[in-house]
Chains A and B, each alone.
Chain A
């Protein structure tokens, strides 16, 4: 993660096009200016960034399902829960599942785990629309490559390749 740039996703662990699910791995950096204020002597990943990690994982799933022909924007977070502290150095594994792909919006469920323990979950609504700027689509395609998003056409489980350094994304 590069928190200051809202680049939250490090790599894709698994994409299932048929089940419409995505798992991502995301490592909280050991150091960040954010931890200087949140909080002195007790660094914690801010809860809003846990929601951002879930939202970005949902967004990357939606973009992949739509073959990057639309952009997704966060519209609402329902039933959001922050269940325990997340600290520097921990790896958050996020599972996102498409619940309903509507017209101009989508509803997804997401949860984050650290070492198998549930740390956060929420129902995420994304608004979808054509890309407002052409360079944005190119940026997201390059981002998908960096996070090792499987890009094959076949439905079914696709295991992502090994993580590469600098695997970052921004939705």
Chain B
């Protein structure tokens, strides 16, 4: 978890020019860090490449739009990192 978070936080800091110290596990990527959808594509690309996974962004967006999930479930960083860990585990299973 900590390794995943450190990697993700560094990606966000570098991609969006956000001071690293402002990024915490409780940060909401959209509401707290002000990351928009286009910037998040760059972050998703870097995460996909770093972890060898494919973030299911379309599925997440659809679930949020349909009220089946909240943005907090996917875009609060500790939750995002948990999803990433699940995807990594599923890949190596």
Contact = CB atoms under 8 A, between A and B. Distances in A.
Interface string A72-95: 000110000000000000000000
Interface string B17-54: 00000000000000000000010011011001100001
A102 B61 contact: no
B81 to A, nearest CB: 17
Nearest to A78: B42
Interface residues of A, number: 10
A104 B61 contact: yes
Contacts, number: 34
* Secondary structure type dominating chain B contacts: helix
Contacts of A107: 45
B8 to A, nearest CB: 16
* Secondary structure type dominating chain A contacts: strand
A104 B45 contact: no
B3 interface: no
A78 to B, nearest CB: 8
A104 B55 CA distance: 10
A100 B57 contact: no
7 contacts: A102-B48, A102-B55, A103-B54, A103-B56, A103-B57, A104-B61, A125-B41
Interface of A: 75-76, 100, 102-105, 107, 125, 127
Given A100-B45, A125-B41, 20 more contacts: A75-B41, A76-B38, A76-B42, A102-B44, A102-B48, A102-B54, A102-B55, A103-B44, A103-B55, A103-B56, A103-B57, A103-B59, A104-B58, A104-B61, A105-B41, A105-B44, A105-B57, A107-B45, A125-B42, A125-B45
